[in-house]
Chains A and B, each alone.
Chain A
Amino acid sequence: DTEVTQTPKHLVMGMTNKKSLKCEQHMGHRAMYWYKQKAKKPPELMFVYSYEKLSINESVPSRFSPECPNSSLLNLHLHALQPEDSALYLCASSPHIHGELSNQPQHFGDGTRLSIL
Chain B
Amino acid sequence: AQKITQTQPGMFVQEKEAVTLDCTYDTSDPSYGLFWYKQPSSGEMIFLIYQGSYDQQNATEGRYSLNFQKARKSANLVISASQLGDSAMYFCAMRESAAGGTSYGKLTFGQGTILTVHP
Q: Across the interface, do B44 and A50 meet the contact criterion of CB distance under 8 Å?
A: no
Is residue B12 within 8 Å, beta carbon to beta carbon, of the partner chain?
no
* In the assembled complex, B68 has its CB within 8 A of some CB on chain A: no
Q: Least Cβ distance of B88 to chain A in Å?
A: 12
* Contact yes or no, B95 A110, CB < 8 A: no
Q: Which of B33, B89, B91, B95 has most chain A Cβ within 10 Å? A: B95
From B43, B89, B104, B110, contact of A98 by CB (8 A) = B104
Q: Give the total of A residues in contact with B, Cβ under 8 Å.
A: 29
A74 at interface (Cβ–Cβ under 8 A)?
A: no
Give the one of B44, B46, B102, B105 with max A CB within 10 A: B105
Q: Does B18 make an interface contact (CB < 8 A)?
A: no
Interface size counted on chain B using CB atoms at 8 A: 27
The minimal Cβ–Cβ distance linking B84 to chain A, given in whole angstroms, is 21
| B63 in the interface (beta carbon within 8 A) | no
Q: Is B106 an interface residue (CB 8 A)?
A: yes
A31, CB-defined interface residue at 8 Å: yes
A99 touches B98 (CB 8 A): yes
A56 interface hit (Cβ, 8 Å): yes
B44 touches A56 (CB 8 A): no
Fill in one digit per residue for A83-117: 1 if any B CB lies within 8 Å of its CB, else 0: 00000101010100111001101111111010000
Interface readout for B72-105 with A: 1 if CB under 8 Å, 0 if not?
Answer: 0000000000000000010100010111001011
Residues of B within 8 A of A (CB): 33, 35, 37, 42-47, 50, 52, 89, 91, 95, 97-99, 102, 104-107, 109-112, 114
A residues within 8 Å of B by Cβ?
2, 31, 33, 40-43, 45, 48, 50, 55-56, 88, 90, 92, 94, 97-99, 102-103, 105-111, 113
8 extra interface residue pairs, beta carbon distance < 8 Å, beyond A42-B110, A50-B105, A97-B105? A31-B105, A41-B112, A42-B111, A42-B112, A90-B45, A92-B45, A102-B105, A107-B47
